[in-house]
Amino acid sequence: MLLAQRGYKVLLLDKATFPSDKLSTHFILSSGVEQLAKWGLLEAVAATGCPPILNFDVYAADAWL
């Protein structure tokens, strides 16, 4: 993202075949959101229309975290 921000053309390749299973959701942890803001990219990501996740619950080992 930083290379693209500086004007470089960036191409990302994925050699996986589709359809494929995904390991997780498309979610950016709060530390990632902080880093995007630090790089000046958070507004551009938010402008894509992705919905913000304001809170979430995690249930693991018989306990809510």
Count of Cβ atoms closer than 10 Å to residue 41 Cβ: 15
Of the pLDDT bands very low, low, confident and very high (cuts 50, 70, 90), residue 62 is confident
Of the pLDDT bands very low, low, confident and very high (cuts 50, 70, 90), residue 58 is confident
What does the alpha-carbon distance between residue 14 and residue 10 come to, in Å, rounded to a whole number?
13
> Token pair for residue 28?
């950016």
Q: Where are the alpha helices (DSSP H) in the chain?
A: 2-5, 30-38, 42-46
| Peptide bond connecting 19 to the previous residue in cis, omega within 30 degrees of 0 | yes
pLDDT of 10-56, one tens digit each?
998 878 777 777 666 678 888 999 999 999 889 998 999 988 888 88
List strand residue ranges (DSSP E) for the chain, in order.
59-60, 63-64
pTM score of the predicted model: 0.56
